[in-house]
């Protein structure tokens, strides 16, 4: 009997994951196929492909799902379901898994790193030394303290809670916005993002991207955060109205921003690239070797469980 067919949607996938997948499955690499030949490729392997491995930033299109009648499971290497049509998957009885928890610490670490990098001008200071200004006794504008700041978190899920825990260790005052107040935390809850921003010096976005949370950080929120405020986004680019953000940073209505994600990836707004009150990352919140390996293990474990008929380790549906 031939091994189940697994379609890999995007490149690059974690090398270790691909090596392991080859041992147990027949792999089909969609990313290797020129876009004009993809429909034909899917059609010719439609009866063989039973699983898809992809990341949440790419997800899986409706066209791919519709082209694969034998599809049983989609295993996301990451979290965030904004590129997945879960309704369609449910209708077609396709299981979906992701890799929560495995990446939480890395993304929370990066959120804190971005806040500190912006406030302490880490990148500017680095450049100052590299350009010989330190050696020439030139003056570097003073930075701001992170410890003790009030940190507002939009979305107190796994990552949000991990950011809160870290911020607490820095003596920060933590408050949050979510759809409902949490019973299990002692942080102050705000039922409006504008109110949260008005009471925060650092605002960290860590919620899921949905139609409700698209542009949850808008002009009003940015103005409430204010000229001394710092925005950190480790959620999704769509959470922030990037045009408003650029305008506010340019006009001095917002103090600074640390961004791991952008509205049109991989293309941050050009103006951000020349601003020295922002620190930019190429959407690498969870991209450490350790976490990518853990995520790969969970993808493999979910596929194995599915094909053995065992309960899934981290089911979404
Ligand atoms: P999670 O545990 O599922 O938490 C998501 C949180 O979003 C929930 O706690 C939920 O809070 C909140 N939320 C949903 N709808 C909301 C709304 N309308 N208003 C306010 N909050 C809302 O997921 P996670 O693991 O913490 O991940 C959070 C997000 O981080 C992911 O969805 C993904 O987009 C992003 N992410 C980014 C990276 C990166 O590389 N930068 C990596 C991983 C994940 P309530 O239910 O209490 O409202």
Residue range 192-236, pLDDT digits in tens: 999 999 999 999 999 999 999 999 999 999 999 999 999 999 999
pLDDT at residue number 286: 95
Pairwise CA distance, residues 66 & 194, whole Å: 41
Q: Give the residue, by CA position, lying nearest to ligand 1 atom 46.
A: 179
pLDDT at residue number 106: 98
Atom of ligand 1 nearest to the CA of 212: 18
Residue range 71-103, pLDDT digits in tens: 999 999 999 999 999 999 999 999 999 999 999
Closest CA to 60 of 22, 26, 5, 98: 98
What is the CATH number that goes with domain 104-280?
3.40.50.720
pTM: 0.97
Q: Give the residue, by CA position, lying nearest to ligand 1 atom 40.
A: 285
pLDDT at residue number 75: 97
In terms of DSSP bridges, do strands 150-154 and 202-205 run parallel, antiparallel, or are they unpaired? parallel
pLDDT at residue number 1: 62
pLDDT at residue number 16: 86
Closest CA to 306 of 316, 294, 295: 316
Pocket of ligand 1 (CB under 6 A): 78-80, 100, 103-104, 107, 155-160, 177-180, 206-210, 212-213, 234-236, 260-261, 283, 285-286
CA of 185 from ligand 1 middle (Å) equals 17
Count of Cβ atoms closer than 10 Å to residue 295 Cβ: 26
Could you confirm whether 283 is annotated as catalytic?
yes
Q: If DSSP codes are grouped into helix, strand and coil, which group holds residue 17?
A: helix
pLDDT at residue number 2: 79
CA of 155 from ligand 1 middle (Å) equals 6
In CATH terms, the fold of domain 5-102+289-308 is: Rossmann fold (3.40.50)
Intervals of CATH 3.40.50.720 along the chain: 5-102+289-308, 104-280
- All residue ranges of the chain with pLDDT < 50 are none
Residue keyed to tokens 């469980």: 305
| 53 neighbors 299 (Cβ within 8 angstroms) | yes
């Amino acid at each position: 009997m031939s091994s189940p067919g697994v379609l890999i949607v995007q490149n690059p996938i974690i090398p270790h994951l691909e090596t392991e997948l080859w041992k147990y499955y027949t792999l089909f690499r969609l990313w290797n196929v020129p876009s004009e030949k993809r429909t034909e490729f899917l059609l010719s392997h439609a009866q063989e492909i039973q699983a898809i491995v992809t990341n949440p930033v790419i997800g899986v299109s409706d066209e791919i799902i519709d082209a694969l009648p034998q599809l049983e499971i989609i295993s996301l290497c990451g979290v965030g379901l904004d590129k997945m049509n879960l309704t369609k998957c449910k209708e077609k009885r396709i299981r979906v898994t992701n890799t929560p928890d495995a990446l939480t610490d890395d993304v929370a670490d990066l959120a804190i790193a971005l806040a500190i990098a912006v406030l302490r001008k880490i990148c500017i200071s680095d450049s100052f030394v590299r350009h010989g200004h330190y050696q020439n006794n030139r003056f570097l504008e003073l930075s701001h303290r992170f410890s003790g700041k009030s940190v507002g978190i939009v979305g107190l899920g796994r990552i949000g809670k991990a950011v809160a825990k870290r911020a607490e260790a820095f003596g920060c005052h933590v408050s949050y916005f979510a759809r409902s107040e949490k019973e299990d935390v002692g942080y102050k809850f705000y039922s409006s993002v504008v109110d949260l921003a008005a009471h925060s010096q650092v605002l960290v976005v860590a919620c899921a991207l949905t139609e409700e949370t698209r542009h949850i950080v808008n002009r009003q929120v940015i103005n409430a955060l204010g000229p001394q405020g710092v925005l950190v986004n480790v959620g999704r680019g769509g959470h922030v109205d990037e045009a408003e953000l650029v305008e506010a940073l340019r006009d001095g209505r917002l103090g600074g921003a640390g961004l791991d994600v952008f509205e049109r990836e991989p293309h941050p707004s050009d103006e951000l690239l020349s601003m020295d009150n922002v620190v930019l990352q190429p959407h690498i919140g969870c991209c450490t070797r350790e976490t990518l390996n853990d995520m790969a293990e969970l993808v493999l474990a979910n596929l194995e469980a599915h094909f053995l008929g065992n309960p899934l380790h981290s089911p979404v549906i």
